[in-house]
Amino acid sequence: MRLALRRCVLLLVLGGALNACNGPAVSIPFSEPAAAVVDGHDISMKAYQARLEVSRHRDPFLGIPEAIPSPVPSQRLEDFTIDQLVREEVIHLEAEKRGITVSDHAVQSRIDTLRARAGGTAFAAALSRNGFTAGSFLAYQGALLTEVALVTAMAKDRAGSAAHELQSGQSFSSVAARWSDDAGTFARGGDVGWLRPADLPEPALATAVQALTTGTVSGMIRTDRGFTIATVLERRADQVHLAVILVLAPTVDVFSPQGTPTWFTKFIDDRVAALRRDRKLAIKVGSHAGS
C-alpha cells in the first residue's frame, strides 16, 4: 500500500514537471542595474558609464591637486560624475513638480542649432573630442534645458517677489539688497552709477531705461542674463544715474555652472541633503557606493 502511494505521488510530481516544461514560457523582465536611486527613480548604469566617458575626456580636475590623494586616481571622476547625474535627476524631479517639461523636439532643435552653428564636421569632431555619443549628448542637452527652465521659473518668482515689495512701498535699495544677484551693485542698493542708456549691453534694458522718468520703477525686463527691475535716480543730458535689481536666469546660450545663481545651487544642495537624510538617495558607484 505504501509502495503504491509513493508511486502515485512520484507520477503526480513528474506529471506536473512535464506540464510545466510543455506549458507557455514565463518571461522574467530584465532589470538594468542602477548607478543610483533618487527618490525612487533610477539612474541607470548605462547613463552613468556614458557620462563617465565624458568626464574622462573633459576632466574637471585636470591640474588641480587633491588635498588628500584618492586611493584610485579615477575615483574623483567617478564621484564627480555620479554627483552630477544625481543633481540633474533632482532638478528633473523639481521641474516636474512645477509642471515644467522639456520636449524631445526642443532638445533636438537645440542640437540642430548647435550643429548648424559649428558645421556638421566640426560638430561631430567636438562630440568625439569630448567623449559624447549622439545618445549621451542628447541626454546632456535635455538635462541642461531642464535646468535652464527651472532656474528661469524660480528666478521669475523671485523677481515677482521683489516687484511686489517695491509696489508695497519698500525702498528700492532695501529690496535690491535682499533680492539682487548683481554682485557689483546689490551691496550698494542696486546703484549702478552714471551711464548712457545706449551703452547698456542688453537692448531690452536700454530701451526701458531710456523711457523711464526720474524716480519711476520699471516692470520685470527679460534679458539674456535674467530678470531686471530698474529705476532712474537722476538724469542729466544723455546720462542717467541708474539702480537695478537683477535676478539671474541666464538663457541657454550663456548658461554655465559658474554662472548658476547661488540661491539655486543652495536649493538643489538642500534637496540632495534632505534626500540623504530621509534615506531616499542611494549611490551605488564611486567612493560613496552603499551609502
| Cα 41 to chain centroid, rounded | 16
For 61-114, write each residue's pLDDT tens digit.
Answer: 565 555 555 555 678 899 999 999 999 999 999 999 999 999 999 999 999 999
Give the pLDDT mean for 143-169: 98
pLDDT of residue 7: 40
**In the chain, what are the domain boundaries?**
34-62+73-156+266-288, 171-248
For 133-150, write each residue's pLDDT tens digit.
Answer: 999 999 999 999 999 999
pLDDT of residue 287: 83
pLDDT of residue 258: 80
CATH code: domain 171-248 is 3.10.50.40
Q: Is the pLDDT of residue 201 over 60?
A: yes
Q: Average model confidence (pLDDT) for the chain?
A: 87
Question: What span, in angstroms and rounded, lies between the C-alpha atoms of 199 and 210?
Answer: 11
pLDDT of residue 31: 63
pLDDT of residue 87: 98
For 223-245, write each residue's pLDDT tens digit.
Answer: 999 999 999 999 998 899 999 99
Q: Is the pLDDT of residue 6 over 70?
A: no
What are φ and ψ of residue 35, in 5° steps?
Answer: -85, -25
Question: What span, in angstroms and rounded, lies between the C-alpha atoms of 86 and 80?
Answer: 10
Highest mean pLDDT among 15-19, 54-58, 207-211: 207-211
Contact status, residue 185 vs residue 191, Cβ threshold 8 Å: yes
Question: What span, in angstroms and rounded, lies between the C-alpha atoms of 98 and 104?
Answer: 18
pLDDT of residue 289: 75
What percent of the chain has pLDDT above 90? 76
pLDDT of residue 290: 66
Q: Is the pLDDT of residue 155 over 50?
A: yes
For 21-49, write each residue's pLDDT tens digit.
Answer: 444 544 555 567 899 999 999 999 999 99
pLDDT of residue 17: 37
Q: What angle do CA 40, 43, 45 make, to 5 degrees?
A: 135
* In the chain, beta strands by DSSP E: 34-38, 41-44, 191-195, 221-222, 226-236, 239-248, 281-283
Of residues 21 and 266, more confidence is placed in 266
Question: What span, in angstroms and rounded, lies between the C-alpha atoms of 154 and 237?
Answer: 38
Neighbours of 202 (CB within 10 A): 16
Helix axes 134-167, 104-118, angle to 10 degrees: 110
Give the pLDDT mean for 248-260: 91
Q: How confident is the model at residue 20 (pLDDT cuts 50, 70, 90)?
A: very low
